[in-house]
Each structure stands twice: as structure tokens, then as C-alpha cells.
Structure 1
């Protein structure tokens, strides 16, 4: 694969005296592992000031091919969002952390090398030559989890800690420096995702999930309500539920197995890096939390430890907010549980139910992004992992049990 004007593009990452020699660029992920962008493995060969050859290893993120994915992810807007997350938002949060004695508050995000939205340096529009270069986390020992199985308990706790830190940091900044938040962070947190789906896709999506539930006797009594909620999701996609303002923060909105990477030492998880910030928003922290737990954690862990995991997240959230000087008195655990009721009923059950289809699609069953159409995400039964049906059943019955449905 070729990146246009590559030598000019990487000038910001070359040290004094370094000379560009060549580069190699290949696809990093197969189809089905990422939909919102094309992920690239980029090796940059340079000659340093001593005449020695070195290699800089990066991961490149480029736009999806023109077509429905470009429109679905509103790439012209969301690609800029991710760049500003690295260039503006993370530095502001880390500066804020240092003011409170925390050397690197946000240490769970990859380092950005350089980025552009177009070959034209004066352009304000994202085009097909947009690209973002990040550190290659795999070479640092980070790996993605198994999307068919999900994370174990130790890994889940690390991920919840980092998610709570991200959420609490933005809330603390918003409380302490509202003008900084409103002028330098909030402009990048508008909702900019596909807000309309073709009618045939809506019907097929609803029927796909209803058909699966009809095979589960325990779920059959709830089918009328399931259908109503699935249909309402499309009708009310532009009308998010009213939630408690105190819990609104920077949300990832796509926090699942493939969008975070863990490093293990002697089989134990020790650190994590969150990736893929294209569709960040200013919304309820419960959106990230509920979606992650039900989509990306081992089923047995969620079945037996969900309440403990919610409490663990809450304690990490309060700890970070306290360290950053925030008033924790409004943030009771009971208030957080109430937030889950609003978000679960209106948003996250449908989010998980629909996302389980691409999440559980077997490897090798997805077309290349250049050939992919929206209907192709609604794969047939033979293309789904067995755990699809187990998770689909669990999310309905557990949401009902908790009063979130």
C-alpha cells in the first residue's frame, strides 16, 4: 500500500540529522477486526546523523474507502476528532494532572507521531489522503483480546480502572476549569455518527435479532417488547435519553475488545492502551461502562461478578475525582445505579444487541472494506460464533432482572 507524499508527511517525527530512506506499508488487520478505518503496519527506514540505519515502527490509521462506511462513520468529522484527542485533549488532561501531582494522568493512550487530514496543508476537509501515525503497541508487548470470549477478571479490572480515570479526569477538569473544557474539549465531542439507516436495513436488523430470540424459550414472552425497543432505537436515534448531567463526560462510545490492548507479564495483565477514538462524545459515562461489560467481558465473569465490577469502577472513579480536587458529594453509588437504568433502557441494550453481530462474526466471513455494504454486517447464522446466542440471551434476561429493560 502507498501513502502519498510520505517523506514530507513524516518530517515532524525525524530528529535533527535524521534522513528518510524508505518505508514499508502493509495492512495490519484483516476484514472484520475494524470497520471505521483501515489499519496499517508502517515501517520507516531512516539514517541517523551518525550514518547508521534505524527503523521507526508505527501503526497507521487511514480513512475507510468511500461509500457507506465513510458516511456511516461521518469520516470528514470523526477523523478530525481522533486527531484532536491526541493533539489537544490528552495534553490538556495531562497538564491538569501535573497540577495535582500526577505525572501522567492519561497513561493508557498510545503516543501519536503525526497526522494530516489532506495532502493540501491549507485544507480543512478530510479526504482520502488523511492519515494518523501512532506508536506500534504490538512491538511494546500489547495485544488485543479474544472478541469471541472476552476479558478475564484481572484484565477487566485494569480496563475499568482506566475507563474510570478517563471519565473522572474530564469531569474534574470541567468542574475546575469550565472555560477550558468548553473552548478546547467540548467542540470535539459533538455527536457525529450515522443518524439514519435505510428502512430495509432496519427491518432486517430487527428480524435477525427477533429470529434468534425465538429459539430461546425463556425469552419468547418478551418478544413484543423486544421488537418495540429495537424499532424505537431507529426512530429515536436522534433523541438520546435525558441523563444526569453530573455524569456527562468524554465517552469513547465504542469501547469493546478490539479497541483496547493489554500487556501481560508472566501471564498477568499489567497495563492497557485504549485505541480508536473516532466517535468520542459528551455523554453519560454509563454508556461506555454498560456497553463494555456486556459486550467484551467473559460471560461467566459478568454473570457472577457484575455488581462487584460496577462497584470497582465506582471506587476508581471517586478516587481519581478526589485526587483532582473534584467535589465527590453528588456522586453517590446509588446515583450511578440510577444512571444505568436510564442508559440501559433507552440505549445500551440495543447497542449491545446490534453490535453482537459484527463482534461475533467468525474470522474470514467479512468482505474487504472496499467491497463491504451495510447489509453485509448482518451475516447469516453459519457465520456467527456459538457465543453469540449465549450472550444475546444473557443480555436480555439480565437487563430485565436489573430493571434496565
Structure 2
């Protein structure tokens, strides 16, 4: 396997969404190591001739990892197919139910698992082609800085809609939910507990002098929560849980009221709405902002969630605020190790990675023996994360 310099049979890939004859394409690498993990991303610019005119399109191709280790971690044979179904089935179902444009989803151009139309095996020619959002004014926020307050509210506004709509579908038309949404929430498979990097990272956490008083609580939480991918749900709080809702999976505009697009539907699960909320607040908001606005942002999400339920004509009495807070407290205990590991990724030096999906000969041993030493950014964020979770009895 090697990196693409062109998308084979691109004309077949786009035939159902783009009119005209493909006349040119340019393919280049989109993201450096450390910015994406479960796939390889390419920038794809192509031209289509329509009559006497040529029209240019700007797209992003999400392709399968180039090494088997990453494919196994991300369960590519299942998750890649499910992500295609998101664009062909789940997103259209959500949009149709809302009767809105679904502005926080990308435009979809086409997808396949293989060049062989009769194959049911995801191979090196698997690709999901969507619009290049940067052309429309969207960008990623620097992961070392995090979202500011207005940006965080914009993200939570759309996250609340993302959660509330499937709940409304489930309550109003469960057969539709079970047919068009539930099958495409595969999640990830539990890995080898002994190879779990959070266990190695915990040694670094407990070595931070400022966290000495929390050592027992850190070790207990990680021991009890890092060996499985527990996504048990207390109803009625079950919805689509993105399960990887961090700063790199959101793009945003610089408008006075920012527009948001949610990316990467590789491993969503049927889970608690509070999981995405906690994970996002714990990992992706600017540290100075979240220090003083944690409760404000939780309340803001809740208000938006309830507003969505009202608009969707769902009885809000089914969702008591005090029960939401209880759900938040319970799920937070399972989110600590998730947030702690991604904090290591987010504040790592740019251009470096412990898991390189674009490297064809990347081996399991490289992942397991990765240096998990902490820099000053890590330490500052970990001190806040542990103290905040401890203060709230989440660890």
C-alpha cells in the first residue's frame, strides 16, 4: 500500500452527486502526523466539464489507514462501512426529520469500500469524499489553544441539536431509529488491556507533584474504567454519542455567530448525551475559559438541548434537570481516562504522533513503546483536569 497521488475512478465516485465529465484532479496530503489517527486524509481538487464550461470542486478524501495495526484499532472493516452509511442514510434521516438543512454536516460527494463493486471487504481503495470546508470559510482551532467562549457556545448549540434530534426520532418513530440510525453506531472494540496507553500515562500523572493528594483517586478511576469501552445508558438519555468529540473533529467559521461542522463519524455509539458534553468540555475549551465557565457551559448545553426538544415537540417532563445532573456525575467517572488520554494527544508537539495511520510499516511495538513524557502544557492541563474532577467527585 502507498499514499495516493490520484483517486482511482473518481468519475464513478462522484457520478451521483456531480454533473458533468471529470477532466482533471489534483491530490495532495491534507494533514500532518498528529492531527488525524484513524484514517489518511487527502485534499482533492477536481474539475468537471459541463457543456462549454469547466467547474472546479474542492474536496477532502478520507481513506483507509495504511497499516494493519491502525485498521485493527479502529475496526476499519466495520467503522468505514458505517461511516459511509452516515452520509448515505443517517444524515439524510436526521435532516428529513428536522426538515432543516442540517448545517453542521459536510456536503457529501461519494464513497466506496473498494474498486470492486461486488466486494464486501474494505480495502486500500476505500474512500469517503466530502467538501473541503476551508474553501467555505471553516477552519480548525489550534488544539494547543482551544475554543474561546463564543466558539464553545456555538459548538454546544449544535451538539445539543445533534443529540436531541435522534432522541426525538427514537421517541416518535422507533422503527425508523432502529432501521436508519441504530445499526450505524458501531463504536470501537475493546483493545488489549495490557497495551492500553492510559495505564502507562497514569504513571506520568501520579508523578506530577501538585497531584500527589489525588494519586489514589487517579489510580482507582483508571483501574476501574480503562479496561473496557463501557457505554451503558440510563434512559431516556441515550442518543447518538459521537464518542470522539474533540477539537480536531469540529470546524468553525469566524462569523459573529459562528457556524459549525461536526466531522468524523468513524466510531459513534448509542450512548449518553453527557459523554460528548463532558469529553468536549474536558479536552477542547481554552483552559482559561473552562476554569471559570464549566457550570455556565453545562447549563448552556442543557438550555439548548431542552429548546430543541420543545421545537421537536417532545415532552420535556421526560428529561428532568436533576436527573440530567445525576447522569452527568455518573458518566464523568467513565470519561476521566478518555479525557486524560486525549489531553496527552492534544498538547503533544505538533508534527509528532504515537499512532501514524499514514505510515504503511507502522507496528504495534511503536505504539506500545511510545515515549509518554509530559511537557509543560500537559502538566498545566492535567492539574486542572484532576482538580476539577476531584472537586466534583468525578474521580
What is the TM-score of this pair, normalised by structure 1? 0.91
CA contact (8 A) 1:210 1:223 kept: no
Aligned residue number for residue 287 of structure 1 = 275
**2: CA distance between counterparts of 1:354 and 1:378?**
15
Say which SS state the counterpart of residue 16 (structure 2) adopts: helix
CA contact (8 A) 1:171 1:248 kept: yes
Deviation per CA, 1:127-162, whole angstroms, max 9, x where unpaired?
Answer: 211101101100001000111121000000000000
CA contact (8 A) 1:251 1:284 kept: yes
CA contact (8 A) 1:216 1:393 kept: no
**Runs of 4+ more than 6 Å apart:** none
Pairing 1:215–2:202 present: no
Alignment of 1:57-72 (within 5 A): 57-72=58-73
Aligned residue number for residue 342 of structure 2 = 355
Alpha-carbon shift at residue 46 of structure 1 (Å): 2.0
Say which SS state the counterpart of residue 289 (structure 1) adopts: helix
Aligned residue number for residue 77 of structure 2 = 76
**2: CA distance between counterparts of 1:293 and 1:157?**
11
Aligned residue number for residue 37 of structure 2 = 35
Pairing 1:321–2:309 present: yes
Alignment of 1:215-364 (within 5 A): 215-217=208-210, 219-235=211-227, 237-240=228-231, 242-265=232-255, 268-345=256-333, 347-364=334-351
Deviation per CA, 1:21-54, whole angstroms, max 9, x where unpaired?
Answer: 121111100011000111110011222212x222
Aligned residue number for residue 165 of structure 1 = 161
**2: CA distance between counterparts of 1:269 and 1:379?**
41
**1: CA distance between counterparts of 2:229 and 2:283?**
23
Alpha-carbon shift at residue 275 of structure 1 (Å): 0.5
CA-atom RMSD in angstroms: 1.9
**2: CA distance between counterparts of 1:310 and 1:378?**
37
Aligned residue number for residue 9 of structure 1 = 13
Alpha-carbon shift at residue 332 of structure 1 (Å): 1.9
Alignment of 1:17-32 (within 5 A): 18-32=20-34
Aligned residue number for residue 387 of structure 1 = 377
CA contact (8 A) 2:33 2:353 kept: yes
**2: CA distance between counterparts of 1:148 and 1:167?**
27
How many positions carry a matched residue from both structures?
Answer: 387
CA contact (8 A) 2:201 2:341 kept: no
**2: CA distance between counterparts of 1:60 and 1:91?**
20
